Structure 1
Amino acid sequence: MPVTLAIAGLLFATGSNSARTDVDGGRQEELSGLVSQENRKVDAYDQQVERMQREVDRASRARARNDKVAARAQERSDELGRTVGLGPATGTGVRVTLDDAPRTEIGEGNIPPDYLVVHQQDVQAVVNAMWAGGATAVQVMDQRLISTSAVRCVGNTLLLNGRVYSPPFAVTAVGPTDRIAGSLEREPGIRVYKQYVKTYGLGYEVERLTEVTVPGYRGTLDLQFAESGR
């Protein structure tokens, strides 16, 4: 979490200074370098967590071979893991790619900058439509989504599970292609986004996949934030 907050802070700083002249160009490059450095730290932490998870898994399975109670617990754990998305999913699917408008459009001073970039609600609309269309697994960039995943945008960058991504943003789903494609067509948020695609040149591409594999979730399973029902 501290690394995630550090990355977000750097991005907010970068965004707040984006309107300055080229005099601050060196500072912008420095901030971008710091973001890349924090991304590398997150990658290293993730690799360490994966190694520890594999060690725990091996120890649990070794005990289950000689302990009936442990064996039943392991079977239950495997079943729950598949349900919540800890294992890979393979099948037919759909991939949607969202992108900012071309640089030539972004440079036009009479067009509000917010009209020319992909926003958090655009990515979320695609994710929601995929779930509504019967997706059994959804991945944003290289990150598997589970029930506690949160898609956040800072400026025109995506913050997910401690990593920062720049557009184009790829959202991939495993599931029935026709149903998912139909759900994408009906989603109100995507219909609004397509108006900006037509008017301002934002990118939107839908690809049907005969076979795709979405990896299992590898982040923390702790619930960081919750809000009680009203």
Structure 2
Amino acid sequence: MKRKGSLAIALICIFVGVLIILQMKTVDQLGGTVDSERAGDLAAEVKALENKNDELNNQLEDLEKQLANYESDAAGTDDVIKKKQKEMEKERVLAGVTDVTGSGLVITIDTDSTDYDASLYSKSSDLLLSLVNELNAAGAEAISINGERLINTSEIRQAGSYININRNKYGAPFEVKVIGNPQDLSAAIKMRAGVVDVMQSNKLKVSISQEDNVLVKAYSGVIDFKYAKPASGSGASE
């Protein structure tokens, strides 16, 4: 009886041992499976991140190319704008609607108060016109008389004992400011029997000063064209 009890206990111990061994193997197998599956998942995630990173790098390269193109276009546009602004500024100078400064002459014309024949005063407007014509022919870029900027509609005409310039009345002395090459301008009006000689022969005092910074103010009147319009290219009389 005692031997049977010992045998039963031994069998139970063996059975329990086998169960323990089987349980341990099962745990090992499950752990290995879990680790393998997890590693596969991580590898897939890493691969996905690498692909996403490549995609983002490609997008970044595309954006950098677009930015370079935009900057190039902007630089080109900026050059065009600067060119147009320069052209507009030149047109404003030619139109006389902006102040300008540069080398040129300051010419003062006055009467000889001690020996002046009033009957000759009517010639002053013609002499001023002759002076302006000679200066323009010599390359004048801007001219003013007593602060009145001369433009293409400016008049210089006798009005009684005054001279009208841009519809404003002026009397002597006249200060003529002109921008251009000082030597060319001076030579043009001081030539023998030229406009300065004629003025002096008509008892007008003329002084000429060459200066590096002559300021010619902008035209202060209103420019209003009622009839002249830009030609459309067709239907305009030639």
Point out which structure has higher relative CO (alpha carbons under 8 A, 6+ apart).
1
The 8 Å contact of residues 155 and 167 in structure 2, kept in 1 or not, is answered as no
* Structure with bigger gyration radius: 2
| Residue 141 (structure 1) aligned with residue 151 (structure 2) | no
Provide the alpha-carbon RMSD of the alignment. Answer: 2.9
Q: Cα–Cα, structure 1 residues 221 and 189, in superposed 2: closer, same or farther, change >3 Å?
A: same
The 8 Å contact of residues 101 and 116 in structure 1, kept in 2 or not, is answered as no
The 8 Å contact of residues 135 and 189 in structure 2, kept in 1 or not, is answered as yes
The 8 Å contact of residues 104 and 179 in structure 2, kept in 1 or not, is answered as yes
Q: 2:218 aligns with which of 199, 216, 221?
A: 216
Which stretch of the first structure deviates more once superposed, 116-125 or 206-215? 116-125
User: Quick one: distance in 2 between partners of 1:116 and 1:147?
Assistant: 25
Report the counterpart of residue 205 of structure 1 in structure 2. Answer: 207
Listed as ranges, the matches of 1:55-134 within 5 Å are 75=85, 78-102=89-113, 104-106=114-116, 113-115=118-120, 119-134=124-139
Deviation at 1:194, TM superposition (A): 2.3
Report the counterpart of residue 197 of structure 2 in structure 1. Answer: 191
Alignment identity in percent?
Answer: 23
Q: Normalization by structure 1: what TM-score?
A: 0.55
Deviation at 1:131, TM superposition (A): 1.1
User: Quick one: distance in 1 between partners of 2:101 and 2:199?
Assistant: 29
User: Quick one: distance in 1 between partners of 2:122 and 2:168?
Assistant: 19
The 8 Å contact of residues 189 and 195 in structure 2, kept in 1 or not, is answered as no
Deviation at 1:222, TM superposition (A): 2.8
User: Quick one: distance in 1 between partners of 2:142 and 2:208?
Assistant: 17
Q: Normalization by structure 2: what TM-score?
A: 0.53
The 8 Å contact of residues 121 and 161 in structure 2, kept in 1 or not, is answered as no
The unaligned stretches of length 5 or more in structure 1 are 1-70, 107-111
The unaligned stretches of length 5 or more in structure 2 are 1-80, 229-238
User: Quick one: distance in 1 between partners of 2:111 and 2:126?
Assistant: 14
The 8 Å contact of residues 101 and 117 in structure 1, kept in 2 or not, is answered as no
